Structure 1
Amino acid sequence: MIGQSNDSEEWGQMQNLIKTVTFSLALTLVGGCSYFSVYKRDLPQGNLVTQEMVEQLRPGMSRDQVQYVMGNPLLRGPFDDDQWDYVFRLDEAYAGVKQRRVTLTFANDRLVNIEASGDMEADMELSPDLDPGPGVEPAGAETLPGVSPTPAPGSEPDASGEQI
Protein backbone atom coordinates (compact mmCIF):
# COMPACT_ATOMS: atom_id res chain seq x y z
CA MET A 1 0.00 0.00 0.00
CA ILE A 2 2.76 2.39 0.81
CA GLY A 3 4.32 1.66 -2.60
CA GLN A 4 1.04 2.43 -4.38
CA SER A 5 0.67 5.93 -2.90
CA ASN A 6 4.21 6.81 -3.94
CA ASP A 7 3.46 5.62 -7.47
CA SER A 8 0.32 7.73 -7.71
CA GLU A 9 2.18 10.79 -6.33
CA GLU A 10 4.93 10.33 -8.88
CA TRP A 11 2.34 9.88 -11.63
CA GLY A 12 0.58 13.13 -10.56
CA GLN A 13 3.91 15.00 -10.55
CA MET A 14 4.72 13.57 -13.99
CA GLN A 15 1.35 14.73 -15.33
CA ASN A 16 1.94 18.23 -13.96
CA LEU A 17 5.40 18.27 -15.54
CA ILE A 18 4.00 17.13 -18.90
CA LYS A 19 1.28 19.81 -18.74
CA THR A 20 3.84 22.50 -17.88
CA VAL A 21 6.22 21.48 -20.68
CA THR A 22 3.35 21.24 -23.20
CA PHE A 23 1.98 24.64 -22.18
CA SER A 24 5.47 26.22 -22.38
CA LEU A 25 6.07 24.70 -25.81
CA ALA A 26 2.69 25.88 -27.12
CA LEU A 27 3.28 29.37 -25.74
CA THR A 28 6.70 29.53 -27.39
CA LEU A 29 5.31 28.40 -30.75
CA VAL A 30 2.42 30.87 -30.66
CA GLY A 31 4.73 33.70 -29.59
CA GLY A 32 7.05 32.99 -32.51
CA CYS A 33 4.39 33.02 -35.20
CA SER A 34 4.51 36.02 -37.49
CA TYR A 35 0.72 35.98 -37.70
CA PHE A 36 0.55 37.26 -34.14
CA SER A 37 3.39 39.76 -34.49
CA VAL A 38 3.22 43.52 -34.15
CA TYR A 39 1.88 45.48 -37.12
CA LYS A 40 4.61 47.18 -39.12
CA ARG A 41 4.42 49.83 -41.80
CA ASP A 42 6.80 51.34 -44.32
CA LEU A 43 8.88 54.17 -42.92
CA PRO A 44 10.09 56.72 -45.51
CA GLN A 45 12.65 59.28 -44.34
CA GLY A 46 14.42 62.19 -46.02
CA ASN A 47 14.01 63.74 -49.45
CA LEU A 48 12.36 61.64 -52.14
CA VAL A 49 14.95 61.47 -54.92
CA THR A 50 13.98 60.16 -58.35
CA GLN A 51 15.91 59.49 -61.55
CA GLU A 52 13.89 62.22 -63.30
CA MET A 53 15.03 64.79 -60.74
CA VAL A 54 18.70 63.84 -61.11
CA GLU A 55 18.43 63.95 -64.92
CA GLN A 56 17.31 67.60 -64.72
CA LEU A 57 20.50 68.64 -62.93
CA ARG A 58 23.23 70.22 -65.05
CA PRO A 59 26.65 71.57 -64.07
CA GLY A 60 26.54 75.36 -63.94
CA MET A 61 23.04 75.56 -62.40
CA SER A 62 22.60 78.10 -59.62
CA ARG A 63 21.65 77.06 -56.10
CA ASP A 64 18.13 78.41 -56.63
CA GLN A 65 17.70 76.33 -59.78
CA VAL A 66 18.93 73.21 -57.99
CA GLN A 67 16.62 73.90 -55.06
CA TYR A 68 13.70 74.32 -57.47
CA VAL A 69 14.37 70.85 -58.95
CA MET A 70 15.43 68.95 -55.82
CA GLY A 71 13.88 70.85 -52.93
CA ASN A 72 15.75 71.78 -49.75
CA PRO A 73 18.73 69.54 -49.02
CA LEU A 74 18.52 67.18 -46.08
CA LEU A 75 22.15 67.84 -45.12
CA ARG A 76 24.47 70.75 -45.76
CA GLY A 77 28.18 70.85 -45.03
CA PRO A 78 28.67 72.04 -41.44
CA PHE A 79 31.62 74.36 -42.19
CA ASP A 80 30.89 75.42 -45.74
CA ASP A 81 27.70 75.48 -47.74
CA ASP A 82 29.29 74.03 -50.89
CA GLN A 83 28.01 70.46 -50.44
CA TRP A 84 24.36 69.49 -50.35
CA ASP A 85 23.17 65.96 -49.62
CA TYR A 86 19.78 64.60 -50.55
CA VAL A 87 19.15 61.29 -48.78
CA PHE A 88 16.08 59.12 -49.07
CA ARG A 89 15.66 55.96 -47.04
CA LEU A 90 12.68 53.61 -47.18
CA ASP A 91 12.52 51.01 -44.44
CA GLU A 92 9.95 48.58 -45.81
CA ALA A 93 7.93 46.84 -43.12
CA TYR A 94 8.46 43.25 -44.17
CA ALA A 95 11.33 43.66 -46.62
CA GLY A 96 14.68 45.37 -46.58
CA VAL A 97 15.86 48.94 -46.59
CA LYS A 98 16.19 50.93 -49.81
CA GLN A 99 18.37 54.01 -49.82
CA ARG A 100 19.23 56.69 -52.37
CA ARG A 101 21.71 59.50 -51.98
CA VAL A 102 22.64 62.44 -54.19
CA THR A 103 25.56 64.64 -53.21
CA LEU A 104 25.84 67.98 -55.00
CA THR A 105 28.96 70.11 -54.87
CA PHE A 106 29.02 73.83 -55.62
CA ALA A 107 31.83 76.23 -56.47
CA ASN A 108 31.17 79.97 -56.75
CA ASP A 109 27.45 79.28 -56.21
CA ARG A 110 27.30 77.04 -59.30
CA LEU A 111 26.77 73.28 -59.42
CA VAL A 112 30.03 71.55 -60.37
CA ASN A 113 29.63 67.90 -59.35
CA ILE A 114 26.77 65.39 -59.03
CA GLU A 115 27.28 62.07 -57.23
CA ALA A 116 24.39 59.63 -57.03
CA SER A 117 24.29 56.31 -55.20
CA GLY A 118 21.56 53.75 -54.75
CA ASP A 119 19.18 52.33 -57.31
CA MET A 120 17.65 55.47 -58.82
CA GLU A 121 15.72 53.59 -61.47
CA ALA A 122 13.88 51.23 -59.11
CA ASP A 123 10.31 52.24 -58.50
CA MET A 124 9.74 52.97 -54.82
CA GLU A 125 6.08 52.62 -54.12
CA LEU A 126 5.04 54.88 -51.29
CA SER A 127 1.65 53.98 -49.91
CA PRO A 128 -0.47 56.89 -48.73
CA ASP A 129 -0.83 57.26 -45.00
CA LEU A 130 -4.35 56.08 -44.30
CA ASP A 131 -4.21 56.67 -40.56
CA PRO A 132 -6.80 59.14 -39.29
CA GLY A 133 -4.17 61.45 -37.76
CA PRO A 134 -4.88 65.03 -36.73
CA GLY A 135 -7.70 66.80 -38.53
CA VAL A 136 -6.51 69.46 -40.92
CA GLU A 137 -9.08 71.70 -42.48
CA PRO A 138 -8.54 71.77 -46.25
CA ALA A 139 -8.29 75.05 -48.13
CA GLY A 140 -11.70 76.36 -49.07
CA ALA A 141 -13.46 74.29 -46.45
CA GLU A 142 -17.08 75.14 -45.97
CA THR A 143 -18.35 76.48 -42.67
CA LEU A 144 -21.34 75.10 -40.85
CA PRO A 145 -24.71 76.38 -42.08
CA GLY A 146 -25.78 79.50 -40.21
CA VAL A 147 -22.29 80.11 -38.81
CA SER A 148 -20.20 82.89 -40.25
CA PRO A 149 -16.47 83.12 -39.60
CA THR A 150 -15.52 85.84 -37.14
CA PRO A 151 -12.68 88.17 -38.13
CA ALA A 152 -9.64 88.51 -35.91
CA PRO A 153 -9.83 91.32 -33.32
CA GLY A 154 -8.68 94.64 -34.73
CA SER A 155 -9.26 93.59 -38.33
CA GLU A 156 -12.78 94.99 -38.73
CA PRO A 157 -13.25 96.97 -41.94
CA ASP A 158 -13.95 100.64 -41.45
CA ALA A 159 -16.52 102.66 -43.41
CA SER A 160 -14.26 102.83 -46.48
CA GLY A 161 -14.00 99.01 -46.58
CA GLU A 162 -10.29 98.93 -45.64
CA GLN A 163 -8.95 96.85 -42.79
CA ILE A 164 -7.90 98.79 -39.74
Structure 2
Amino acid sequence: MPAFISRTPRLALALVCAGAAASGCSSFDRMSYGVANVVTPYRVEIVQGNFVSKEQAAALRPGMNRQQVRDILGTPLVTSVFHANRWDYVFTIKRQGVEPQARKLTVYFKGDAMDRFEGDEMPSEAEFVATLDNKRKNARVPVLEASEESLRKYAPANPPAAVSGPQAAPPLTAYPPLEAPTR
Protein backbone atom coordinates (compact mmCIF):
# COMPACT_ATOMS: atom_id res chain seq x y z
CA MET A 1 0.00 0.00 0.00
CA PRO A 2 2.77 2.54 0.73
CA ALA A 3 4.26 1.97 -2.75
CA PHE A 4 0.91 2.91 -4.36
CA ILE A 5 0.68 6.16 -2.36
CA SER A 6 4.19 7.25 -3.31
CA ARG A 7 3.57 6.64 -7.04
CA THR A 8 0.29 8.57 -7.27
CA PRO A 9 1.73 12.08 -6.77
CA ARG A 10 4.52 11.43 -9.29
CA LEU A 11 2.04 10.11 -11.89
CA ALA A 12 -0.30 13.06 -11.37
CA LEU A 13 2.60 15.53 -11.68
CA ALA A 14 3.76 13.85 -14.92
CA LEU A 15 0.26 14.02 -16.43
CA VAL A 16 -0.15 17.70 -15.47
CA CYS A 17 3.23 18.59 -17.01
CA ALA A 18 2.47 16.68 -20.23
CA GLY A 19 -0.94 18.37 -20.55
CA ALA A 20 0.54 21.82 -19.95
CA ALA A 21 3.27 21.25 -22.52
CA ALA A 22 0.83 19.96 -25.12
CA SER A 23 -1.70 22.75 -24.64
CA GLY A 24 0.94 25.48 -24.78
CA CYS A 25 2.58 24.18 -27.93
CA SER A 26 1.15 25.83 -31.05
CA SER A 27 2.69 23.23 -33.33
CA PHE A 28 0.56 20.57 -31.55
CA ASP A 29 -2.57 22.56 -32.45
CA ARG A 30 -1.55 22.82 -36.10
CA MET A 31 -0.79 19.12 -36.19
CA SER A 32 -4.19 18.21 -34.74
CA TYR A 33 -5.97 20.31 -37.38
CA GLY A 34 -3.97 18.60 -40.11
CA VAL A 35 -4.92 15.15 -38.82
CA ALA A 36 -8.59 16.21 -38.56
CA ASN A 37 -8.61 17.45 -42.16
CA VAL A 38 -7.11 14.21 -43.49
CA VAL A 39 -9.32 11.86 -41.49
CA THR A 40 -13.01 12.56 -42.12
CA PRO A 41 -15.81 10.47 -40.69
CA TYR A 42 -18.17 8.58 -42.95
CA ARG A 43 -21.49 10.34 -43.39
CA VAL A 44 -24.54 8.34 -44.35
CA GLU A 45 -26.48 9.43 -47.42
CA ILE A 46 -29.97 10.45 -46.37
CA VAL A 47 -32.69 10.03 -48.99
CA GLN A 48 -36.26 10.77 -47.99
CA GLY A 49 -39.50 10.93 -49.94
CA ASN A 50 -40.49 10.26 -53.53
CA PHE A 51 -38.42 11.45 -56.46
CA VAL A 52 -40.79 13.00 -59.01
CA SER A 53 -39.31 13.57 -62.47
CA LYS A 54 -40.26 16.14 -65.07
CA GLU A 55 -41.74 13.33 -67.17
CA GLN A 56 -44.00 12.20 -64.34
CA ALA A 57 -45.24 15.74 -63.66
CA ALA A 58 -45.94 16.20 -67.39
CA ALA A 59 -48.15 13.07 -67.36
CA LEU A 60 -50.56 14.61 -64.81
CA ARG A 61 -53.85 15.90 -66.23
CA PRO A 62 -56.72 17.68 -64.48
CA GLY A 63 -59.63 15.31 -63.93
CA MET A 64 -57.51 12.24 -63.12
CA ASN A 65 -58.77 10.28 -60.14
CA ARG A 66 -56.68 9.65 -57.04
CA GLN A 67 -55.64 6.15 -58.10
CA GLN A 68 -54.36 7.39 -61.47
CA VAL A 69 -52.28 10.08 -59.73
CA ARG A 70 -50.94 7.47 -57.29
CA ASP A 71 -50.03 5.19 -60.23
CA ILE A 72 -47.98 7.98 -61.83
CA LEU A 73 -46.34 9.61 -58.78
CA GLY A 74 -46.44 6.88 -56.15
CA THR A 75 -47.78 7.13 -52.63
CA PRO A 76 -47.58 10.69 -51.31
CA LEU A 77 -45.15 11.38 -48.49
CA VAL A 78 -47.61 13.61 -46.64
CA THR A 79 -51.36 13.18 -46.45
CA SER A 80 -53.28 15.01 -43.79
CA VAL A 81 -56.66 14.42 -42.20
CA PHE A 82 -57.07 18.18 -42.06
CA HIS A 83 -56.23 18.64 -45.76
CA ALA A 84 -57.85 15.61 -47.39
CA ASN A 85 -57.86 17.26 -50.83
CA ARG A 86 -54.10 17.82 -50.87
CA TRP A 87 -51.18 15.42 -51.35
CA ASP A 88 -47.58 16.52 -50.82
CA TYR A 89 -44.67 14.81 -52.54
CA VAL A 90 -41.42 15.88 -50.87
CA PHE A 91 -37.97 14.61 -51.86
CA THR A 92 -34.71 15.38 -50.05
CA ILE A 93 -31.24 13.93 -50.47
CA LYS A 94 -28.17 14.77 -48.39
CA ARG A 95 -24.80 13.41 -49.48
CA GLN A 96 -21.24 14.02 -48.39
CA GLY A 97 -19.48 16.54 -50.61
CA VAL A 98 -22.66 17.61 -52.46
CA GLU A 99 -25.14 20.37 -51.73
CA PRO A 100 -28.38 18.97 -50.26
CA GLN A 101 -31.29 18.77 -52.71
CA ALA A 102 -34.93 19.34 -51.79
CA ARG A 103 -37.95 19.35 -54.11
CA LYS A 104 -41.66 19.59 -53.40
CA LEU A 105 -44.78 18.94 -55.50
CA THR A 106 -48.31 19.45 -54.18
CA VAL A 107 -51.35 17.91 -55.87
CA TYR A 108 -54.81 19.38 -55.17
CA PHE A 109 -58.07 17.48 -55.61
CA LYS A 110 -61.73 18.48 -55.84
CA GLY A 111 -63.59 15.45 -54.59
CA ASP A 112 -61.94 12.45 -56.24
CA ALA A 113 -60.65 14.32 -59.32
CA MET A 114 -57.31 16.12 -59.54
CA ASP A 115 -57.77 19.87 -59.86
CA ARG A 116 -54.19 21.14 -60.21
CA PHE A 117 -50.61 20.66 -59.04
CA GLU A 118 -47.84 23.08 -58.17
CA GLY A 119 -44.29 22.86 -56.93
CA ASP A 120 -40.62 23.19 -57.73
CA GLU A 121 -39.13 22.74 -61.18
CA MET A 122 -38.48 19.00 -61.44
CA PRO A 123 -35.40 17.58 -63.20
CA SER A 124 -35.69 14.92 -65.86
CA GLU A 125 -34.58 11.39 -65.00
CA ALA A 126 -31.32 11.83 -66.91
CA GLU A 127 -30.53 15.13 -65.15
CA PHE A 128 -31.18 13.58 -61.75
CA VAL A 129 -28.99 10.55 -62.45
CA ALA A 130 -26.20 12.87 -63.61
CA THR A 131 -26.27 14.70 -60.24
CA LEU A 132 -25.96 11.45 -58.27
CA ASP A 133 -22.51 10.43 -59.51
CA ASN A 134 -20.17 13.10 -58.15
CA LYS A 135 -17.08 10.87 -58.06
CA ARG A 136 -16.62 10.45 -61.81
CA LYS A 137 -16.47 13.54 -63.96
CA ASN A 138 -17.77 13.35 -67.54
CA ALA A 139 -19.47 10.04 -66.79
CA ARG A 140 -21.87 8.74 -69.43
CA VAL A 141 -25.48 8.61 -68.26
CA PRO A 142 -27.10 5.24 -69.05
CA VAL A 143 -30.13 5.04 -71.31
CA LEU A 144 -33.14 5.05 -68.98
CA GLU A 145 -35.98 4.18 -71.34
CA ALA A 146 -36.39 1.03 -73.38
CA SER A 147 -37.12 1.52 -77.08
CA GLU A 148 -39.12 -0.87 -79.25
CA GLU A 149 -35.88 -2.02 -80.93
CA SER A 150 -34.21 -2.88 -77.64
CA LEU A 151 -37.30 -4.79 -76.46
CA ARG A 152 -37.41 -6.90 -79.64
CA LYS A 153 -34.02 -8.37 -78.69
CA TYR A 154 -35.65 -10.04 -75.70
CA ALA A 155 -38.80 -11.32 -77.43
CA PRO A 156 -39.33 -15.08 -77.11
CA ALA A 157 -38.10 -17.10 -80.09
CA ASN A 158 -41.31 -19.13 -80.39
CA PRO A 159 -44.38 -17.10 -79.47
CA PRO A 160 -46.91 -19.13 -77.45
CA ALA A 161 -49.66 -20.72 -79.53
CA ALA A 162 -53.25 -19.67 -78.95
CA VAL A 163 -54.85 -21.85 -76.31
CA SER A 164 -57.98 -23.61 -77.46
CA GLY A 165 -60.36 -25.19 -75.05
CA PRO A 166 -61.89 -23.87 -71.87
CA GLN A 167 -61.36 -20.17 -71.41
CA ALA A 168 -59.77 -18.81 -68.26
CA ALA A 169 -62.20 -17.72 -65.57
CA PRO A 170 -62.82 -13.98 -65.37
CA PRO A 171 -61.13 -12.22 -62.48
CA LEU A 172 -63.00 -12.22 -59.19
CA THR A 173 -64.94 -9.09 -58.39
CA ALA A 174 -65.85 -10.16 -54.85
CA TYR A 175 -63.47 -11.81 -52.44
CA PRO A 176 -64.29 -14.14 -49.55
CA PRO A 177 -64.23 -12.58 -46.08
CA LEU A 178 -60.94 -12.62 -44.22
CA GLU A 179 -62.50 -13.78 -40.98
CA ALA A 180 -65.23 -16.31 -40.39
CA PRO A 181 -68.56 -14.71 -39.47
CA THR A 182 -69.39 -14.79 -35.80
CA ARG A 183 -72.36 -16.96 -34.78
Match of 1:30 in 2: 35
In structure 2, the CA distance between the partners of 1:118 and 1:42, relative to structure 1 (3 Å rule), is farther
Equivalents in 2 of 1:65, 1:37: separation in Å? 46
Asked if 1:57 is matched to 2:65, the reply is no
Summarize deviations over 1:59-118 as a string: whole Å, max 9, x none.
000001001111111001331310000011111211111111110000021000110214
Shift of 1:119: 4.2
Task: Provide the TM-score with structure 1 as the length reference.
Answer: 0.59
Letter in 2 for 1:39: Y
Task: Provide the TM-score with structure 2 as the length reference.
Answer: 0.53
Letter in 2 for 1:103: T
In structure 2, the CA distance between the partners of 1:63 and 1:91, relative to structure 1 (3 Å rule), is same
Residue correspondence of structure 1 range 118-157 to structure 2 within 5 A: 118-121=121-124, 122-124=127-129, 125-126=131-132
In structure 2, the CA distance between the partners of 1:54 and 1:17, relative to structure 1 (3 Å rule), is same
Summarize deviations over 1:96-153 as a string: whole Å, max 9, x none.
11111110000021000110214434424557xxxxxxxxxxxxxxxxxxxxxxxxxx
Gaps of 5+ in 2: 1-16, 134-183
Summarize deviations over 1:29-66 as a string: whole Å, max 9, x none.
322x1x30101243211111111111111000000100
Letter in 2 for 1:88: F
In structure 2, the CA distance between the partners of 1:85 and 1:19, relative to structure 1 (3 Å rule), is closer
Match of 1:150 in 2: none
Asked if 1:116 is matched to 2:119, the reply is yes
Gaps of 5+ in 1: 1-12, 128-164
Aligned Cα RMSD in Å?
A: 2.5
SS in 1 for 2:96: coil
Dislocated runs of 4+, deviation >3 Å: 16-20, 124-127
Equivalents in 2 of 1:58, 1:18: separation in Å? 69
Task: Count how many residue pairs are aligned between Structure 1 and Structure 2.
Answer: 111
